Structure 1
Amino acid sequence: MLTISLQPRFSETDALGHINNTVVPVWFETARVPVFEIFNPTQSLTKWNLILAKIEVNYVAQMSYNANVEIRTFVKRIGNSSLTLLQEVWQQDQKVAFGECVLVKFDYGTNQSCAISESEQYSLKKHIR
């Protein structure tokens, strides 16, 4: 499992004082950085090799501005050229949102998906749930 802690920003709240529903996908992307580093350690945009093929977010409780959130990221599935991540948002010891995303290893030169290497699979398997 990979985890990060974030302090919600005031600008992420809505008119009712809750965290806006558009914020969670951004938090999920931030929490995927360690996965990005498995595929592109330098994070060079000229060597970027992942695309987001699908994202799903489920909200189960309200989130507020006044408490940190923890984003937990797990590898759910590793395929030949894609992987599925499960991500959760926890606030005050309660799971408040969760979702899945599918990332595809992609070669922008050939405009095609490509195989996840054995070393990448090894690194990903450390985070399987």
Structure 2
Amino acid sequence: MPSNYFSEIITPRFSDTDALGHINNTMVPVWFEGARTPVFKIFTPELALDNWPLILAKIDVNFEAQMYYGENFEVRTYISRIGGSSFDVYQELWQRHKRVANGTAVMVHFDYKTQNSASIPDHIRTSLSAHLFSED
């Protein structure tokens, strides 16, 4: 199992469930966003909102199994692609030692002052590369 990912444990709240007693599907994108914080810190360690360097371009989520209240989840966060100014964050949600969901967020290094994408600096590219996803 690769160990180059960021890991976060989620304890679901009762309000995270749906009428069938499962975890509501709207929670997974919320949990994935929260678990991207270590990636955000690569760009801005202080999480300074007055100089925020990223914008979300796209997200997708795939549901693979039912998810249950009363048991913790683990979110595993990787980098799956690094382009010139954008990169993909690949995430997996695990419960009971089984992957129950996965998804990808396309993030763009963005300059809010010029309202344009910006090249990812080499030192950040190196930091992102340390978390590349591998199925090995």
Q: Which range, TM-score by smaller chain?
A: over 0.9
Pairwise CA RMSD: 0.6
Counterpart among 70, 73, 85 of residue 74 in structure 2? 70
TM-score by length of 1: 0.98
Structure-2 residue corresponding to 1:124: 128
Structure-1 residue corresponding to 2:57: 53
CA distance in structure 1 between the aligned counterparts of 2:68 and 2:54, rounded to whole angstroms: 32
Alpha-carbon deviation of 1:124?
0.4
1:22 equivalent in alignment to 2:26? yes
| Counterpart amino acid of residue 62 in structure 1 | Q
Please state whether the residue corresponding to 1:97 is helix, strand or coil.
Answer: strand
CA distance in structure 2 between the aligned counterparts of 1:115 and 1:39, rounded to whole angstroms: 12
> Deviation string for 1:56-111 (max 9, x for gaps)?
00001010111000000111110010001110000010100001110000000000
Q: Which runs of 4+ in 1 moved over 3 A?
A: none
1:91 equivalent in alignment to 2:95? yes
Alpha-carbon deviation of 1:118?
0.7
Alpha-carbon deviation of 1:20?
0.4
Q: In the TM superposition, what are the counterparts of 1:4-43 in structure 2 within 5 Å?
A: 4-43=8-47
Give the aligned length: 129
- Structure 1 spans left out of the alignment, 5+ residues: none
